[in-house]
Structure 1
Amino acid sequence: MELSAGKFLCLFALLSVVSAEIFFEDRFDDEWEKRWVKSDWKKDGDGAGDWNHTAGKWFGDENDKGIQTYPDYRFFAISAQFPEFSNKDKSLVFQFSVKHEQKLDCGGGYMKLLSGDVDQKKFGAETPYSIMFGPDICGYSTKKVHAILTRNGKNHLIKKEVPCETDQLTHLYTFIIRPDATYSILIDNVEKQSGSLYNDWDLLPPKTIKDPDAKKPEDWDEKEYIPDPDDKKPEGYDDIPKEIPDTDTKKPEDWDDEEDGEWTPPTIPNPEYKGAWKQKKIKNPNYKGKWKAPMIDNPDFSDDPDLYVFPNLKYVGIELWQVKSGTLFDNVLITDDAEYAKKVAEETWGKHKDAEKAAFDEAEKKKEEEEKANEKNDIDDIDDDDDDADDTDAEDSHEKDDDNNKIEEEATSTHDEL
């Protein structure tokens, strides 16, 4: 029996999904608190934030909920455990969605993968992690996607810039690490950055280094330009004055040399003066360029075919500080199959993004209308206050007129008595 091309593709897609290994997946149903552990980190001193289970203020489906940070000026730490695994010989796909409803001005929206045994009730900023990934925003300077990999106890930041989304809608962030030590970073299912773990992180010492024993030869000439030996200063060049007497100016007729002193005409810039003489420069025929030490193999370099491997991943967590709370996390996925991650993205974020955008636009329109109405009410209140003030001023004026009349009457009466 032969399969049509369409049926074959459907069967292939089904087999791909079936073969995907899902290490962790959470869409935050009503039992989410059974899987996630809130940390006591920063609880002393009222510094720890909490989490709301909500779809947010605007959404594509009110039943599609995540967990949202609250209140403001807090530290947030929460984690979930999954069966320990290694990504050796397979891809590692880390994906989740983030929505900054509060129009975030300073705070993180990233998540972490942790290895080994972790006390989840003490999970915090000092807890070692294996991977940190996701958006971070603070002011005008920081608006980027973090992709930090830990090796031998040291955190290594990606050397490339990956701008993050900064609006108030849900966005999907995906980090793929492959067995060939290549990677991709996607936002909303679109690749924004890719490359090699070797090149884009300093996970290993460099393969080559400058020869520490190399010395610049004594006759090495690094001067690109030299004075032109044929260019000579013209005779009398230095005798040309910068200013000369203004010959068009005459001594005033009322000038008295005995009383005013000897008259000297004012000076003006000399059109013949050309400034300080500078010798012309020419290309140096002996120029050899800037000297650089030759590169040699680094004796400290040792390749690691398992550079991409994280051998005992066991937890996923959110740990961050926010000035303004309101970030909503959802659809967390850890798998070995990028196609499955894409499928999840399409049936979650992709399915609801248009309706969410419409709901957001409607909320913004309503907000704008309310602001205009409030402005009108404020103006009306000011006008009413002005009318009241006019009435009060009129009453005050009448009172002042009555007082003035009384004073005038008293003054007239006194005058009559005199």
Structure 2
Amino acid sequence: MKSYLFLISLFIGCIYRTSAEVYLEEKFADDSWETNWIYSKHPGKEFGKFVSTPGKFYHDADDKGIQTSQDARFYALSRKFTPFSTEGKDLVIQFTVKHEQNIDCGGGYIKVFDCSLEQEDMHGESPYRLMFGPDICGPGTKKVHVIINYKDKNVLINKDIRCKDDVYTHAYTLIIKPDNTYEVQIDGEKVESGELEADWDLLPPKKIKDPEAKKPEDWDDRATIPDPDDKKPDDWDKPEHIADPDATKPDDWDDEMDGEWEPPMIDNPEYKGEWSPKQIDNPAYKGAWIHPEIDNPEYKADSNLYKQPEICAVGLDLWQVKSGTIFDDILVTDDVEYAKSALSELKAKQDGEKKMKEDQDMAERDATASEKKENESDDDDEEDYMEDDDDEDKVPPIEEPDHDEL
């Protein structure tokens, strides 16, 4: 029986793997990307260029991505592929980002479009279906954007997902399922998940406050009230400031020239502030009034929140103050397992980058220390030279014998 069930599960798995598709897998392995990807020529924008490179530190020199190359630029580059619908299937968007410039402000996200995208006119207002990936600007913004376009409205996830902010390669994965659930992964590890309806304001709320309900006029929601029997003490009222009793009129004070002398004011130690009666429990307290809710007549469930009728292109549409971000391994598929397998070399890549970066940093520190030592040696030599000059100046002149003594 167990063998039978195993064969069935294996058969179903084979069917699934056969039907699963990879719609786009871009590794930027050769120069073909320059033909397949289209730069925007939208007027009024000064767009930056991407260059192919493994970066300043890497695991494999042949493993290249495309890097933003100009500071303070907009970037707009896109690629189209065979269109597909996500109806009844998973959608996986995955790519890697490496902010090797230690980015201070700029985007590292990707946009997903339908076939209406005019690539040479792509710009920040071009309609898109999904936007996903990291965005960093100063210490306050270090988040993963997940934006879904629903009925022509871009809706941002209502959860805060923190992105990676170091200088190494990191993989970002978004999975949207036909059961209207989602998962966000960084480096293959889940960092957030849930339901589309719960975590985006895609639909009107199920419940709304009853517009006919009003708080009763006699509803007392004060937990405490002033004690009606508490009276202010007769000696309570004292001035806040009084004349300094220790102050004396200066001997050189001239009333005619300086005016009438008055002692300076000081805080009154007997001042008690404004009196108010003590608080007691309110015997008429009914608790906080809660506005009754009713079903929202505008709410209508949608089992197809996940569904994208057409996906046809991906684009890098972003702004960077400091360039140097490398994008790579862009994947669009309905195969979650394939996306997972595509990250099998990520750890080795990160370790290689870290090793090379550490070696570079150490070499730079050694060079700086060596240069500093040479400068100190030059300074010492200069000081010795100056001391030698001083010694020569201090040697007494040899007195020549008087000619009469010869």
**TM-score of the pair, normalised by structure 1:** 0.79
Number of residue pairs matched by the alignment: 377
- Once the two structures are superposed, the pairs formed by residues 253-332 of structure 1 within 5 Å of their partners are 276-332=274-330
- Residue 244 to residue 130, structure 1, CA distance change in 2 (3 Å): closer
Matched, 1:72 2:71: yes
Distance 1:212 1:379 in 2: 81
Work out the CA distance in 2 between the residues paired with 1:372 and 1:60.
27
What's 1:350 paired with?
347
Alpha-carbon offset, residue 240 of structure 1: 7.4
Question: Does 2:346 match 1:359?
Answer: no
Query: Displacement, 1:79?
Result: 0.9
2:23·2:333 contact (CA, 8 Å) conserved in 1? yes
SS of aligned partner of 1:237: coil
TM-superposed CA distance for 1:4, in Å, is 12
Distance 1:119 1:382, change over 3 A: farther
| Distance in 2 of aligned mates of 1:381 and 1:202 | 69
Residues 40-97 of structure 1 show CA distances to partners (whole Å, capped at 9, x for unaligned) of 236x77x221111121111122221111111212111111111111111111110000
CA offset digits 1:101-146 (Å, max 9, x no partner): 1110111100010013222122221211110100011111111111
Instruction: Give the Cα separation in 1 of the matches to 2:81 and 2:94.
Output: 15
CA distance in 1, matches of 2:353, 2:8: 35
Partner of 1:93: 92
> Which residue identity is paired with 2:210?
D
Shift of 1:267: 11
| C-alpha deviation, 1:289, in angstroms | 3.1
Residue 399 of structure 2 aligns with which residue? none
Change over 3 Å in CA distance of 1:144–1:245 after alignment to 2 = closer
> Where in structure 2 are the equivalents of 1:389-408 lying within 5 Å?
none
- What does residue 229 of structure 2 align with? 230
Instruction: Work out whether 1:146 is the aligned partner of 2:119.
Output: no
RMSD of the alignment, in Å?
3.7
CA contact (8 A) 1:20 1:340 kept: no
Asked whether the 8 Å contact 2:237–2:271 carries over to 1, the reply is no
Separation in 1, partners of 2:244, 2:106: 69
Q: Secondary structure at the match of 1:334?
A: strand
**Hey, which of these two has a bigger chunk of helix by percent?**
1
Q: Secondary structure at the match of 2:343?
A: helix
Deviation at 1:286, TM superposition (A): 1.7
Partner of 2:167: 168
Instruction: Report the equivalent of 1:373.
Output: 370
Counterparts in 2 of 1:113-152, with a 5 A limit?
A: 113-152=112-151
Kept in 2, the 8 Å contact 1:97–1:349? The answer is no
Residues 1:315 and 1:270: Cα distance change in structure 2 (over 3 Å): closer
Contact 1:16 1:340 in 2 (8 A): no
**Mean Cα deviation higher: 118-127 or 287-296:** 287-296
Q: Check 1:331–1:227 CA distance in 2 against 1; reply closer, same or farther (3 A cut).
A: same
Q: 1:7 to 1:352 in 2, by over 3 A?
A: farther
**Does 106-115 or 198-207 show the bigger shift?**
198-207
Change (3 A) 1:89 1:7: closer
In structure 2, relative to structure 1, the CA distance for the partners of 1:246 and 1:317 (3 Å cut) is: closer
* Alignment map for 1:200-219 (pairs within 5 Å): 200-219=199-218
Question: Residues 78 and 278 of structure 1: is their aligned pair in 2 closer, same or farther, counting only changes over 3 Å?
Answer: same
SS of corresponding position for 1:317 = strand
| Partner AA of 1:279 in structure 2 | P
Does the 8 A contact of 2:86 with 2:307 survive in 1?
Answer: yes
Alpha-carbon distance change, 54 to 216 in structure 1, aligned in 2, over 3 angstroms: same
Determine the C-alpha separation between the residues in 1 that align with 2:56 and 2:242.
Answer: 80
Gap runs ≥5 in structure 2: 249-263, 395-406
Q: Kindly indicate whether the alpha-carbon contact (under 8 Å) linking 2:49 and 2:68 is maintained by their aligned counterparts in 1.
A: yes
Q: CA–CA distance in 1 between the matches of 2:244 and 2:172? A: 76
Amino acid at match of 2:42: W
Task: Give the distance between the partners of 1:287 and 1:227, measured in 2 at CA.
Answer: 13
Displacement of 1:7 after TM fit?
11
Deviations 1:9-60 (A, max 9, x none): 9998776544422121111121222322222236x77x22111112111112
Alpha-carbon deviation of 1:216? Answer: 1.7
Once residues 265 and 165 of structure 2 are traced to their aligned partners in structure 1, the CA distance between those partners, rounded to angstroms, is 64
Change beyond 3 A, Cα 1:239–1:186:
closer
Q: Distance in 2 between matches of 1:243 and 1:141?
A: 46
Alignment partners' CA distance in 2, 1:13 and 1:101:
40
Give 3-state SS (helix, strand or coil) of 1:365's partner.
helix
- Deviation track 1:296-325 (CA, whole Å, cap 9, x = no partner) reads 111211211111111111001111111111
State the AA in 1 paired with 2:314.
V
* TM-score for the superposition, normalised by structure 2: 0.81
Amino acid of the residue matched to residue 61 of structure 1? Answer: D
Please give the alpha-carbon distance, in whole angstroms, between the structure 1 residues aligned to 2:54 and 2:268. Answer: 80
Distance in 2 separating the partners of 1:74 and 1:269:
60
Residue 398 of structure 2 corresponds to which residue in structure 1? none
Contact 2:236 / 2:272 at 8 angstroms: preserved in 1?
no
Q: Which runs of 5+ in 1 are unaligned?
A: 252-265, 399-418
Distance in 2 separating the partners of 1:378 and 1:213? 84
